[in-house]
Amino acid sequence: MTRTLLLGIDAGLTNLKAVAFDRGGDVVASASSETPGFGSKPGRDEQDHGELWAAVVDIVRAVVADDAVDPDAIAGVSVAGHGHGLYALGADGEPVVGVKSTDSRATDLVAEWRDDGTLAAAADHLGWTPFGGDPLSLLAWFDREAPETAARIDTILFCKDVLAYRFTGSATTDTMEGSVFRAETPDEAHAAFDVLGIEDHADAIPDPVPSTERCGTVTAAAEAETGLPAGTPVAAGLHDVGACALGAGVTDPGEAAVILGTWGQSVVVTGGPDDGSGGLPRRYLDGWLRYRGTRAGAACLDWFVEEFGDEWREQAVERGVDPYTVYEGVASDVPAGAGGVLFHPYLNGTTDDPDARGGFYGLGLDSTRADMLRAVYEGVAVAQVTGVRDLRTTIDAMRVTGGGARSDIWPAMFADVFGGPVTVPTGAEMGARGVAICAGVAADIYADVDAAVEETVTVEREYAADPDATARYERVARAFAEARNGLEPAWQTLKTIPPEDS
């Protein structure tokens, strides 16, 4: 008997993944590639819809062609994608704009809004504050700087919706992404558009489809390109933050996920839009969540070892082990607190403050590279656990996901900083698994989300907090916050320094 398969596609800022799962949540076949993109000018991070689709076609075809995959056994498909940015179609259905959330062209406009009160007024209606890489800020930028392009916008989508549109021919979004605009009521959303001066675009938002319901089926044209059978149900899917939370089994209020990928995301499921504070509130399945992110999570470690880790990589070659085995051994030999060295992981800003910058503090003549390496691990952990606690006072459980969860030292450090147990779910492709669950519910493979999580998600490892380390990290976290608060004016000053002598 042919086993049932579900296809989840995760379109991140840096990588694209297509993963076929069996109904138990185990990976059957997968393929990946880099996310295409370009920057026409400094500060730009843009996306060509056609190139994005072509890259996804390649990895989907690779999965469908795998010997372990019977295309006719694929019962459903769904897509996760990075949030925010601005993707838009014209009235003819052709692409008009593709801008990633890491684009910074609108940051000066947001600064103007902050100074004149517009930003606070919009936040009152939205429940979150535009930050520059979001669709509202970018729409306003196009209205001001490229009005001819703005005038062509007929339908506003998100990254994953571009791909769902190519699969189904239907331009829709899901309720999680749709809550970016709609706040709690459509009237509030229209009021926010009015405040920001982009009221002409308020009707460009498609009506959202619940994440676990069908937004269409694979068309004959998509079958010809991807090899997926025409008529296969396509679920509306999720923003990748929600997809990772679902793939990790984080679905109930009070449960938290820290996503330790290229970015670092702190996510908490809440009881409603007014439960918790700060971050970005979003609809999530039948409820809500809040999240906030640092734009460099595990990327901080990659940066540090690339710049300062030659000796450790040489040791790895000599020992015949993965370099990360050496990095973790070096960091593990340094006691909690990193010899008094503190690291801010804001190498690419945060979702709250794109102008935030990273740095080491507390360095002395006796500080070592090993101290600094340990401080990088700790700085990421403190930032993300603090992010969780800032979002909701009561946290009942925490899971660590993302590529960094494969580490032994990092999840243990998260437990110590959190002061309670931390679990790591089985598997590595949480985002793809999250939307595969959406596809399974839409295709009636699972009765509902709870049944799907029960069948697909298990715990691989659990870490208990060390009380002595937790006590040390309480002081580290306090110093972390004091340094961050004191440096905010310096970050603004640094922003005014030209990148090169003129």
| Residues 311-352 pLDDT 10s | 999 999 999 999 999 999 999 999 999 999 999 999 988 877
In whole angstroms, give the CA distance from residue 267 to residue 321: 33
In the block, which residue shows the tokens 């809040």?
A: 290
Classify strands 15-22 and 5-11 as parallel, antiparallel or unpaired: antiparallel
Q: Length of the chain, please? A: 502
The three-class DSSP label of residue 262 is: coil
Cα–Cα distances (Å) from 4 to 70, 218, 243, 297, 443, in that order, read 9, 17, 21, 35, 11
Which of the following CATH numbers is that of domain 5-239: 3.30.160.270, 3.30.420.40, 3.40.50.620, 3.40.50.2300?
Answer: 3.30.420.40
Q: Tell me what percent of the residues of the chain surpass a pLDDT of 90.
A: 85
Query: What pLDDT is recorded for position 127?
Result: 87
Question: Which two structure tokens, joined as six digits, stand for 450?
Answer: 């709870």
In whole angstroms, give the CA distance from residue 254 to residue 288: 11
pTM metric for this prediction: 0.93
In whole angstroms, give the CA distance from residue 163 to residue 17: 13
Q: Strands (DSSP E) along 42-114, which ranges? A: 74-81, 86-89, 95-99
In whole angstroms, give the CA distance from residue 429 to residue 159: 19
- Please, what's the largest Cα pairwise distance for the chain? 70
Classify strands 214-217 and 95-99 as parallel, antiparallel or unpaired: unpaired
pLDDT over 90 at 495, yes or no:
no
In whole angstroms, give the CA distance from residue 501 to residue 498: 7
In the block, which residue shows the tokens 């902050």?
A: 114
The three-class DSSP label of residue 170 is: coil
pLDDT over 90 at 355, yes or no:
no
Q: Which residues are bridge partners to 189 per DSSP?
A: none
For residue 2, the tally of other CB atoms under 10 A from its CB is 7
pLDDT over 60 at 66, yes or no:
yes
Question: Which two structure tokens, joined as six digits, stand for 135?
Answer: 């669709």
pLDDT over 60 at 15, yes or no:
yes
DSSP secondary structure letter of residue 106:
T
Q: Strands (DSSP E) along 279-375, which ranges? A: 280-284, 287-294, 342-344, 359-361
pLDDT band at 169 (very low <50, low <70, confident <90, very high): very high
pLDDT over 80 at 31, yes or no:
yes
pLDDT over 50 at 502, yes or no:
no
Query: What pLDDT is recorded for position 161?
Result: 98
Q: Strands (DSSP E) along 240-349, which ranges? A: 255-260, 264-270, 280-284, 287-294, 342-344
Tens of pLDDT, residue by residue over 445-475, are 999 999 999 999 999 999 999 999 999 999 9
In whole angstroms, give the CA distance from residue 43 to residue 66: 39
